[in-house]
Structure 1
């Protein structure tokens, strides 16, 4: 694998071409943002609660410490591109790259982009340029960040276009998204949202599965854990302060719930993903 490390041996940027199939069928969690460029084959991508089928050429995305695996239907040829938040902070570069909340950290849309042959070729060329730069005797981090930013910017643009083309109007589920964003800290039962939407529980569950490919319970839990991950990564609040902000009875209960959902403790999540530079911008 072509890699760039920090002084303390943290992986900052890495590219690997189909040599290590560690996440095929067996769930894994990476500390880095992960971009999978699938060039050949088809399969089923599992990311936390979500799962969906894909066929090459396609790009798949995952966030740090997200549990992912792939069930291979036909043999895959793919490239894994990974970067740490210490190398490229997507929150800090939100004006240049609209990927946060679009490619990463979004519970409402599939973390994938279907590619045309021409688009796939462009991504392959960009990945090869990254590899060439890493192999230089003194690789330039500025150049590497520029290539990475270009990949993320292009992906964001394609994802926006794709969502506009594929989005089916569903007023009830659009309203559910709004209600969930407003109430995820206080309303934790599917029946709460079904009532607000004037829907039966069965119909609510059916429509939610059709739109988001998840149950209402999964949506509610994911939204709460997503907020916890944001607080751990984007602030310097203590675990106790985050637990209080998220309305858990205490930090120990918060830690148990977080670990049950993510397979990692809040402390370990913060340690492996790091604290973003945006945590200090308001100081």
Structure 2
């Protein structure tokens, strides 16, 4: 089977490869340094921020379809499968960066796991902003683009600082816009974010709520209470949903067998894994792989 989902490394730019910004107009990315076609689902090994000035098209992120609205920002974490379908009047920016670029000299890589829109499958990684807030971000992007093309000494350090400001500003907007719906002002929201970050880092090997509760010095009952309060799901459901999402990714962008996928996710019994997958999705792992591959056959 030909791998239908490609994985891309950081684009190779003119000067630096660990942080890049592109202006995009129309249906396709015409910048010669951007290395891949974007008309099929794919994933990256880097972080990507999509800034949409004009709402035109759809964006599929991990099997969910989202309309692209004007004045919106979409956030993509490494490993997420996505596809942007742009229309002719599309206008926006792409900003991409590696973990190494962000964490270099700052020792703040963990901060990326505390942002509500990155590395967090329980929250939608999209901000639809009003004109004033969006203008603030565009002003930051203008400063980033100016520094990016300046060729000045210490430009990387300045860009890293601008990126930090941009991410924190987006966090501020996210918390404000979703304060009621996502309970971001609840005093236990940060605790649940900590749980989500642990799940993102450990889900392949650790499946039990008890183990996560131990890492957080909580009882399983208390952890479940707060997770349910903030997300509407139990801690066990969040762990299982993350496992199923990873299984879907393996199924559509690798040739791993069901048995091998079960092994990758620390299930000793492949048949048990298959039963769980079917119960959650309505399809067997093989059935899901076939259905997804048929969607994008040329």
Same fold (TM over 0.5): yes
Q: TM-score, normalised by structure 1?
A: 0.57
1:222 offset after TM fit, Å? 2.4
CA drift of 1:133 comes to: 1.0
Aligned partner (choices 84, 94, 99) of residue 80 of structure 1? 94
Residue 178 of structure 2: SS of its match in structure 1? helix
Measure the CA separation in 1 of the matches of 2:48 and 2:171. Answer: 15
Distance 1:219 1:32, change over 3 A: closer
The verdict on how the C-alpha distance between 1:134 and 1:113 changes in structure 2, with shifts beyond 3 A counting, is: same
Deviation at 1:161, TM superposition (A): 1.8
Change over 3 Å in CA distance of 1:219–1:86 after alignment to 2: closer
What is the distance in 2 between the residues matched to 1:84 and 1:103?
Answer: 16
Q: Could you say which residue in structure 2 is the equivalent of 1:13?
A: 19
* Separation of aligned partners in 2, 1:34 and 1:183: 23
Residue 34 to residue 98, structure 1, CA distance change in 2 (3 Å): closer
Structure 1 position 98, deviation (Å)? 6.4
Name stretches of at least 5 consecutive residues in structure 1 with no aligned partner. 169-176, 188-207, 209-215, 227-242, 251-259, 262-283
1:153 lines up with 2:168 in the alignment: yes
The CA RMSD over aligned residues, in Å, is: 4.7
- Residue of 150, 157, 172 corresponding to 1:136: 150
Distance 1:163 1:64, change over 3 A: same
Which ranges of structure 2 fall in alignment gaps of 5 or more residues?
A: 1-10, 30-35, 184-192, 209-231, 233-238, 250-261, 270-285, 289-298
In 1, the alpha carbon distance for the partners of 2:79 and 2:19 equals: 16
Question: Partners in 2 of 1:5 and 1:148 — Cα distance?
Answer: 18
Partners of 1:31 and 1:142 lie apart in 2 by: 22
Label 1:116 to 1:75 Cα distance change in 2 as closer, same or farther (>3 A). same
Which residue among 153, 163, 167 is the counterpart of 2:182? 167
Separation in structure 2 between the aligned mates of residue 13 and residue 183 of structure 1, nearest angstrom? 29
Q: What is the DSSP-based 3-state SS (H/G/I as helix, E as strand, rest coil) of the residue aligned with 1:41?
A: coil
SS at match of 1:164: coil
Q: Name the counterpart of 2:48.
A: 34
Distance 1:101 1:151 in 2: 12
Residue of 123, 127, 130 corresponding to 1:116: 130
TM, length-normalised to structure 2:
0.54
Runs in 1 of length 4+ with deviation above 4 angstroms? 1-6, 22-25, 181-187, 216-219, 223-226, 243-246
Return closer, same or farther for 1:73/1:130 CA change in 2, 3 Å cut-off.
Answer: closer
Residues in 1 aligned to 2:240 and 2:263: alpha-carbon distance in whole angstroms: 22
SS at match of 2:101: coil
Shift of 1:163: 2.2
Cα drift, residue 150 of structure 1: 0.5
Number of aligned positions between the proteins = 206
Asked whether 1:53 is paired with 2:67, we answer yes
2:51–2:71 contact (8 Å) kept in structure 1 = yes
Do 1:35 and 1:80's aligned partners in 2 also have CA atoms closer than 8 Å?
A: yes
